């Protein structure tokens, strides 16, 4: 069972890292932040187009790094697009608890499966910061903080 999970996990991560979704720099983005994870060398720039009502109308990223950081950014931009700022922050809070092992389940509706999959990274503690980097960049962009480091 564990091996099957690990295989599925690797397949999904590899797919997202080889064909990242939303890998672009939208010209009409009005929030952005650049994240750096010194432990692994991952860099990711997250671009958001926020509407007046706090709606994330578009989410995209550009970055260089390991498969996990790219896959996380790819999944995250897919998940937060169309959500509100408050919802996106709430999902990150839940995701953080999953990857740090603080909680074992988290209900994020239709996004739960993907988040649980990504949270499989908790088996590899060295990689947790790779997975959370794009999320830190996302909240920094909302907070108008242009730079964020995972340490």
List of residues contacting Zn ion (CB under 5 A): 40, 42, 65-66, 69, 130
Using the minimum distance from each CB to Zn ion, give the nearer residue, 13 or 130: 130
Question: Shortest approach of Zn ion to residue 67 CB, angstroms?
Answer: 8
The distance of closest approach from Cβ of residue 66 to Zn ion in the complex, given in angstroms and rounded to an integer, is 3
Sign of CA dihedral 40, 108, 80, 147: negative
Name which of 72 and 87 has its Cβ closer to Zn ion. Answer: 72
126 burial level (CB within 10 Å; 0-12, 13-18, 19+): exposed
Q: Which is nearer to Zn ion, 94 or 134 (CB)?
A: 134
Closest CA to 78 of 51, 44, 115: 115
Q: Which is nearer to Zn ion, 35 or 50 (CB)?
A: 35
Q: Is 65 left (phi over 0), alpha (psi -120 to 50) or beta?
A: left
* Shortest Å distance, C-beta 85 to Zn ion: 26
Count Cβ atoms within 10 A of the Cβ of residue 67 and give its class: 0-12 exposed, 13-18 middle, 19 or more buried.
middle
Cβ-proximal residues to 82 (8 Å cutoff; 6+ apart), any chain: 55, 56, 57
Q: Least distance to Zn ion from the beta carbon of 86, Å? A: 28
């Amino acid at each position: 069972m564990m091996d099957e999970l690990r295989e599925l996990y690797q397949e999904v991560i590899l797919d997202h890292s080889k064909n990242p979704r939303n890998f672009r720099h939208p010209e009409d983005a009005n929030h952005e932040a650049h994240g750096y994870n010194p432990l692994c060398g991952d860099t990711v720039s997250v671009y958001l187009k926020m509407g007046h009502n706090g709606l994330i109308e578009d989410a995209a990223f550009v970055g260089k790094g390991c498969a996990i950081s790219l896959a996380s950014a790819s999944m995250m931009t897919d998940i937060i697009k169309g959500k509100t700022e408050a919802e996106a922050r709430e999902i990150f809070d839940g995701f953080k608890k999953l990857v740090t092992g603080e909680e074992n389940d988290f209900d994020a509706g239709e996004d739960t499966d993907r988040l649980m999959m990504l949270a499989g990274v908790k088996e590899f503690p060295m990689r947790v910061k790779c997975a959370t980097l794009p999320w830190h960049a996302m909240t920094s962009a909302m907070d108008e903080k242009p730079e964020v480091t995972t340490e």
